[in-house]
Every structure is written in structure tokens, then in C-alpha cells.
């Protein structure tokens, strides 16, 4: 006899139906550990077969011990009468409250706090009995003969009396279905869901009729048997009603697309779809001629669900996908305004960027003045943030542009084009769009830097003439600015983090715009009696339309300014050193420092290292902002299966044959002019 067989014998002999509940559950946990054996950390096919071999060994050992079957029957009776299977079958994997943040906190608690085996809830006990992917795989791989033998062990001479071997399982299934149907009906008739359905869906009343159809099915099963003709007819009618509920719920998405996304409503909709799928899985167990095998398949699915319910990342990803899609869709529409396709648009971008550079020259000197006031870290950061925010809003209102704001807007537009890469000529068209994007960025940076530097120098000259320059910047401060922007140092890292802040501002803008639309604030401004009384009917309508169109732009610019100003002092509070590296602002500061130090600075290696650091700052600002926005857009639009090798080859081919197309527009490119905006 092998060691594993000896362990099994000791386990079987230690079975005690009169033991306390927690001891009975611990015995079952030890039995499941024995079944997994040394394969518990693996889930390949060989490990699955080893587990199935141990299951058969267990059944063989039970077969030669008639006295043990009687002990097992008493133990099993205690187990099924002392535990509740409804939470396992109907509620496992679903949120206790239909709210996203509530489920997030619930999952966090499940990850951090251990589960006790002293419980009547089979849903909780499952985490201890079947905790691994291996359990899901061997349950799904159960063959018909092994499943039959397991069924005989579990349900032969069930406690409900002779001739009713499966009556317990039927009762459990019907109880679970009753609970699940009530939850589906409650979600479907909740105000948040029902008010967003189409009029036709509400008038059809599918969620009102669902409990009625299920009661007809339940009555048919209890009266005639689950495989009888009346039960099958009632089952078909109930399935049809389930499909009607799912169709009605689907109409909510059209409302969300038009009027804004709510994470809580999206969460409820996902819960509703998954509960419908769970009900259909339970129905398969009810109608099948092989109930044990169907139950094993269901249990395999529940094991995977129990593992998924511990994933915080999966919860956030699946329930924010619609919001991410909405944000990237809005950014893609705005991003089109930042892509130039002909010489006229290219020149227009240069002019818009030049205007933005001129404004940021004044922003640079105001920032230096704020630094000279010696404010505390927070108030200095807030003042700097307000300075940036007001400057960005001013640039937006004048329809000028800031180069570093473009990547987060243009990335979703580029990602949207990857959805149709199988169409003829799609790759060449995509490469042309990449060239359009890169030269648009080049024009924006050229325009920003081309004017921020001379305007900063002019302001420096004016302040010197007025005798104010020394109070804001002295040679020591100027040298400090040059030294801290040295290429060899934290500059690349800080520039990358600044790119992340640029991306974050676009997310905030998209979220606020969605919130504004979802709560219909444009309609409230246009039609609320108080706003109409204050503004007049015509002006209230104009204001409502204006804020719906521009709330995203204001939010993006204000949030970006505050992020650039406040993140450094907040991180400093936690002992993390960080300084904003925004290419246009950095260029302005270096120009002011160079003026203070005089022409001799041109012979300083530190100055040219700082200039090199500025070039890297531009690259990192653009690359990281674009990268995060592009990745989010790909995920939000479910863009998969992109042939990257073909795209890379096409890009290198264009770069080899037409290198200037990435910097200057071709003479024969034609596109309708469009207005650039910040």
C-alpha cells in the first residue's frame, strides 16, 4: 500500500458525523487536499489526470467498505442539512449591493481577510474546498462513468426517502433559481435601469412577467417531474422570457451612449447579464438527463468565478470599459483637430502654436515671480497651478494650442483607425496618418518654442530696463535653473511623469464631460426656472449649449494646470522629490536664465546639457502622454489582432523613401482646412 493510499485510509476512518460543524468541514477540506495531492500547484493535463485517478481511487476504496458508506450517509445528511447551497449556486460572484465602490471594498476585504470554515454558507466554503484552477479543470474533465459513481455516492438513498434520489438536488436548484430570478427582476425594475429603457421595452413589462413564468416552471417540475412534457414546455416559455428581459435591458446602452455613462449603472447591467447566464446554467442542470455531470460543469464554472471575484483589476477593467470608450471617443473627435494634412493646416498649426508659446512666455515669468515670493510649498504650488490653468484657458479661448496637450487627444483618433486594418490599403493609410500626426507635433513644438524663447527674452529685457529683473532672478537662481535641467539626472524621469499628468488631465476632462451630460446639466441650465429667471430663456439655452460643448476643454486645461502646480508639493509632503518638466515652460525658464547670465552662458557645457535635457523633455512629454492614451484607446475599443510587423515594415519603408513627410506636408496633399483649438 502506497503512502497516498495510507493517507486515504486514515482520512476515511477519521470520518465522524457527530463531530462539530467546523471539524466536519475541516475533514472535507483535508479530503480535497488529498485529491489534489502533489498536483495542487499545477493545472496541466497530466495534473488533471492524476487528480481524476485519485478520485477513482477514493471511489474504489469506498466500494470495498460497506460500513463506511453508512457513516458517510450520516455525515452527508448532516452536511446538506447544515449548509445553505443557494448562495453558492445563485449568488457566488455577485455583489452584495449593486454599487461599484461597494463591490470594490468587498473584494478588497476578501483578499485581505481569511475565510473561516465554520460557516453554513457553501459559497464561502468553496474558497477553501476548491481554491485553484486545477479544481476547475478536473471537474470539467470528469468522465461519464466517474460522474455516475460520484452521483451514486452522494445521492443514493438521499435523506428525502426511497425513490427520490435526486429530490434534494432538484429542491436546491429550484431554491437557487427562485433567488436568482428575484434578483434579475429587482435589477430590471430598479429606477436607474427602468427609466433608461426604451418606451417599447418598458411597455412590454418583461421583468414583471419573469417571476410569473418561473412560478409556472416550478409548479410543473414539482407536480410532473423535471423531465416531463409540461415541465419542458414551461422551461421553453421561461427561457423566452429570460431572453426578453435581456433584450429590454440592452436598450439601456443606447441611452447611456447618448446621455453619458454611469459606472454604477454599467456595473448593474453587467451583474444583470451575468445573473441571466447563471440562471441558464442552472436550467441546464435541471433539464439534463446527466445531472451529476452537468453539476460538475457548473461547479467548475463556479470555481473560476470564485477566483475571479478576488481580482480588483478585473473588476475595474470590466466595469469602466464603457466609460473609457466614451472618454476616448470624445478625445478622438477632439484629436482630429490636432492632425494636419496639408500645407494650409500645417501653417495654421504653426500660427496657433506660436500664439500659445507667446502666452506661455508670460506664464514662465509669472511662475518665476511666484517662486520669488517665498510662499509655503502648498500655497506656492496652488498659485503656480492657477497661473498655468489661467494661461491654458486663455490659449484655448484664443484658439491657440499647447504642443504637449496634443498626444492625449490624438492617440484615441489613431487607435480608432486600427479597428479596420484588414481593409485594402488600410496599413498605408494608417502610416500616412502617423506621418500627419508626427509632423503636426513637430509644427506644434516648433511654434511653441519658436515664440516662447524670444518673448521671454523680450520680457527679460523689459524687466531689466525697469529694474525689476533682479528681484525675480539673480545669477545664482539662473545657474540653479540650468543645473537642475541637466540631461544627466532626473530630467528624463520627471519629463515622463509630466507626460503622465498630461494624459491624466485628458481623463479628468472626459470624466467631467460624461458627468455633466449624464446629469443633464445642460438641460438644467437651459430650462430650470431659476436659471431662466436670472438669465432669460434665450440666454439660458445658449449657456446650456455652450457648457455642453466646452466643459471638456475648460476641465482639461484647468485640471492640467492644477496637476502641474500641486502634484510636486503633494509628493514632497511624502518625501518624494518631483519637479514638473514641461518642454515649453522649461524652454522659457532656460531663456530667462540665459539672459540673466549673459552671452557667456553659450560657452558653458552645463547650458548645452540643459538644452539637450529640454529636447529629451519634449520627447518624454509626448511619448508618455501618447503611450498611455493610445493603450487606453486600444483597450476601450477592443482593438486586438493588429499585425504590428506589417505596420512597422510600412513605417520603415515610408521613412526610407519619404523621410521629410514626417516633418513637412507634401505639396499634393489636399484636405479641407479646420480650426485648431487648445
pLDDT one-digit tens code per residue, 181-224: 999 999 999 998 999 999 999 999 999 999 999 999 999 999 98
Would you state the pLDDT for residue 675? Answer: 40
**Residue 619 CB neighbour total at 10 angstroms:** 16
**Highest mean pLDDT, choosing among 8-22, 306-320, 353-367, 415-429:** 353-367
For cell 484615441, the residue is 412
| Distance between CA atoms of residues 151 and 144, nearest Å | 10
Residue 90 domain flag = yes
Indicate if 78 and 93 belong to the same structural domain.
no
| Distance between CA atoms of residues 392 and 395, nearest Å | 5
Would you state the pLDDT for residue 669? Answer: 47
Residue 428 domain flag = yes
Domain of residue 636, CATH code: 1.20.1080
Indicate if 345 and 277 belong to the same structural domain.
no
Number of domains in the chain: 3
For cell 529629451, the residue is 616
Q: Determine the longest span between alpha carbons in the chain, in angstroms.
A: 107
Burial label for 466, CB within 10 Å (0-12, 13-18, 19+), is: exposed
Would you state the pLDDT for residue 325? Answer: 66
Would you state the pLDDT for residue 343? Answer: 84
Indicate if 570 and 595 belong to the same structural domain.
yes
Indicate if 386 and 301 belong to the same structural domain.
no
- CA neighbours closer than 13 Å in the CB half-sphere of residue 536: 3
Sign of the four-CA dihedral 55, 57, 63, 65: negative
Q: What is the pTM of this model?
A: 0.72
Residue 668 domain flag = no
Residue 667 domain flag = no
**Highest mean pLDDT, choosing among 63-77, 407-421, 593-607:** 593-607
Residue 677 domain flag = no
Instruction: Give 608 or 69, the one with higher predicted confidence.
Output: 608
| Distance between CA atoms of residues 281 and 301, nearest Å | 9
The proportion of the chain whose per-residue pLDDT surpasses 70, expressed as a percent, equals: 87
Cell numbers at 337, concatenated: 483637430
Indicate if 516 and 404 belong to the same structural domain.
yes
Helices (H), 404-490: 406-417, 426-466, 469-472, 475-484
Residue 177 domain flag = yes
Rg (Cα) of the chain, in Å, rounded? 33
H/E segment holding residue 67: helix 66-82
Structural domain of 379: 339-662
* Contact of 318 with 270, CB cutoff 8 Å: yes
Overall residue count recorded for the chain in this entry: 678
Indicate if 53 and 98 belong to the same structural domain.
no
Would you state the pLDDT for residue 558? Answer: 95
Residue 496 domain flag = yes
Indicate if 166 and 71 belong to the same structural domain.
no
Residue 522 domain flag = yes
Helices (H), 519-597: 521-527, 529-535, 537-573, 583-597
Would you state the pLDDT for residue 201? Answer: 92
**Highest mean pLDDT, choosing among 126-135, 366-375, 565-574:** 565-574
Q: How many angstroms separate the Cα of 414 from the Cα of each of 158, 345, 409, 431, 587? A: 63, 18, 9, 10, 29
335 pLDDT exceeds 60?
no
Last residue of a domain, one of 82, 109, 143: 82
Indicate if 14 and 32 belong to the same structural domain.
yes
Would you state the pLDDT for residue 40? Answer: 56
Indicate if 490 and 594 belong to the same structural domain.
yes
| Distance between CA atoms of residues 675 and 348, nearest Å | 8
Indicate if 31 and 120 belong to the same structural domain.
no
For cell 446629469, the residue is 519
| C-alpha torsion 39→41→44→48, nearest 10 | 40
* Contact of 353 with 441, CB cutoff 8 Å: no
Would you state the pLDDT for residue 98? Answer: 64
Indicate if 73 and 25 belong to the same structural domain.
yes
Region 42-70: mean pLDDT is 85
Which DSSP string do the residues of 286-345 spell out, in sequence order?
HH-S-HHHHHHHHHHHHHHHHHHTT-HHHHHHHHSHHHHHHHHHHHHHHHGGG---SHHH
Q: What angle do CA 303, 304, 307 make, to 5 degrees?
A: 90
| Distance between CA atoms of residues 646 and 184, nearest Å | 47
**Residue 207 CB neighbour total at 10 angstroms:** 26
DSSP label at residue 166: T
What is the three-class DSSP state of 145?
Answer: helix
Angle of helix 229-250 versus helix 206-224 axis, rounded to 10:
160
Which DSSP string do the residues of 247-298 spell out, in sequence order?
HHHHTHHHHHHHH---HHHHHHHHHHHHHHHHHHHHHHHHH-S-HHHHHHHH
Indicate if 415 and 273 belong to the same structural domain.
no
| Distance between CA atoms of residues 4 and 54, nearest Å | 9
Closest by CA to 398, choosing from 428, 358, 429, 368, is: 358
| Distance between CA atoms of residues 528 and 20, nearest Å | 65
For 205: left if phi > 0, alpha if psi spans -120 to 50, otherwise beta; the answer is left
How confident is the prediction for the chain on average, in pLDDT?
85
Amino acid at each position: 500500500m502506497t503512502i497516498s493510499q495510507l493517507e486515504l485510509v486514515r482520512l476515511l476512518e477519521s470520518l465522524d458525523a457527530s463531530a462539530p460543524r467546523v471539524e466536519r468541514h475541516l475533514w472535507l477540506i483535508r479530503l480535497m487536499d488529498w485529491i489534489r495531492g502533489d498536483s495542487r500547484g499545477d493545472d496541466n493535463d497530466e495534473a488533471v489526470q492524476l487528480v481524476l485517478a485519485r478520485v477513482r481511487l477514493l471511489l474504489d476504496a469506498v466500494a470495498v467498505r460497506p460500513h463506511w458508506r453508512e457513516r458517510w450517509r450520516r455525515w452527508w445528511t448532516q452536511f446538506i442539512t447544515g449548509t445553505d447551497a443557494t448562495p453558492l449556486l445563485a449568488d457566488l460572484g455577485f455583489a452584495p449591493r449593486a454599487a461599484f465602490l461597494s463591490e470594490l471594498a468587498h473584494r478588497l476585504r476578501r483578499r485581505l481577510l481569511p475565510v473561516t470554515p465554520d460557516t453554513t454558507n457553501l459559497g464561502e466554503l468553496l474558497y477553501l474546498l476548491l481554491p485553484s484552477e486545477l479544481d476547475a479543470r478536473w471537474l470539467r474533465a470528469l468522465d461519464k462513468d466517474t460522474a455516475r459513481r460520484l452521483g451514486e455516492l452522494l445521492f443514493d438513498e438521499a435523506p428525502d426517502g426511497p425513490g427520490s434520489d435526486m429530490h434534494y438536488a432538484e429542491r436546491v436548484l429550484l431554491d437557487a433559481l427562485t433567488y436568482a430570478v428575484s434578483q434579475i427582476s429587482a435589477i430590471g425594475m430598479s429606477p436607474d435601469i427602468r427609466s433608461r429603457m426604451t418606451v417599447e421595452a418598458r411597455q412590454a413589462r418583461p421583468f414583471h412577467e419573469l417571476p410569473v413564468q418561473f412560478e409556472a416552471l416550478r409548479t410543473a417540475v414539482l407536480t410532473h417531474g423535471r423531465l416531463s412534457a409540461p415541465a419542458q414546455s414551461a422551461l421553453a416559455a421561461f427561457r423566452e422570457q429570460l431572453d426578453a428581459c435581456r433584450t429590454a435591458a440592452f436598450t439601456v446602452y443606447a441611452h447611456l451612449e447618448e446621455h453619458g455613462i454611469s459606472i454604477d449603472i454599467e456595473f448593474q447591467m453587467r451583474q444583470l447579464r451575468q445573473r441571466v447566464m447563471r440562471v441558464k446554467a442552472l436550467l441546464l442542470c435541471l433539464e439534463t438527463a446527466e445531472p451529476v455531470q452537468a453539476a460538475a460543469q457548473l461547479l467548475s464554472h463556479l470555481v473560476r468565478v470564485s477566483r475571479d471575484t478576488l481580482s480588483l483589476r478585473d473588476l475595474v477593467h470590466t466595469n469602466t470599459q464603457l466609460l473609457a470608450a466614451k472618454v476616448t471617443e470624445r478625445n478622438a473627435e477632439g484629436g482630429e483637430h490636432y492632425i494636419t494634412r496639408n500645407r494650409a493646416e500645417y501653417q495654421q498649426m504653426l500660427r496657433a502654436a506660436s500664439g500659445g508659446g507667446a502666452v506661455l512666455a508670460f506664464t514662465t515669468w509669472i511662475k518665476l515671480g511666484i517662486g520669488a515670493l517665498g510662499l509655503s510649498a502648498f500655497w506656492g504650488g496652488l498659485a503656480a497651478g492657477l497661473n498655468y490653468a489661467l494661461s491654458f484657458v486663455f490659449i484655448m479661448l484664443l484658439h491657440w494650442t499647447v504642443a504637449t496637450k496634443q498626444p492625449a487627444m490624438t492617440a484615441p483618433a489613431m487607435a480608432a483607425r486600427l479597428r479596420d486594418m484588414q481593409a485594402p490599403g488600410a496599413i498605408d493609410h494608417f502610416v500616412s496618418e502617423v506621418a500627419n500626426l508626427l509632423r503636426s507635433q513637430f509644427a506644434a513644438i516648433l511654434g511653441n518654442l519658436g515664440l516662447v524663447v524670444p518673448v521671454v527674452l523680450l520680457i527679460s529685457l523689459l524687466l531689466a530696463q525697469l529694474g525689476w529683473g533682479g528681484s525675480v532672478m539673480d545669477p545664482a537662481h539662473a545657474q540653479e535653473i540650468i543645473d537642475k535641467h541637466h540631461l544627466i539626472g532626473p530630467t528624463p524621469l520627471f519629463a515622463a511623469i509630466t507626460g503622465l499628468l498630461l494624459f491624466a488631465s485628458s481623463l479628468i476632462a472626459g470624466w467631467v464631460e460624461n458627468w455633466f451630460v449624464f446629469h443633464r446639466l445642460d438641460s438644467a441650465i437651459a430650462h430650470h426656472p431659476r436659471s431662466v429667471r436670472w438669465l432669460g430663456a434665450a440666454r439660458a439655452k445658449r449657456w446650456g449649449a455652450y457648457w455642453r460643448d466646452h466643459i471638456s476643454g475648460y476641465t482639461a486645461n484647468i485640471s492640467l494646470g492644477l496637476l502641474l502646480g500641486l502634484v510636486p508639493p503633494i509628493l514632497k509632503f511624502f518625501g518624494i522629490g518631483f519637479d514638473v518638466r514641461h518642454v515649453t515652460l522649461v524652454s522659457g525658464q532656460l531663456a530667462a536664465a540665459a539672459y540673466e547670465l549673459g552671452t557667456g552662458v553659450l560657452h558653458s557645457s552645463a547650458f548645452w546639457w540643459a538644452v539637450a535635457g529640454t529636447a529629451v523633455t519634449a520627447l518624454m512629454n509626448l511619448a508618455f502622454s501618447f503611450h498611455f492614451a493610445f493603450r487606453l484607446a486600444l483597450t476601450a475599443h477592443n482593438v486586438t489582432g493588429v499585425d504590428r510587423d506589417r505596420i512597422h515594415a510600412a513605417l520603415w519603408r515610408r521613412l526610407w523613401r519619404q523621410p521629410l513627410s514626417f516633418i513637412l506636408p507634401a505639396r499634393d496633399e489636399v484636405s479641407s482646412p479646420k480650426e485648431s483649438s487648445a
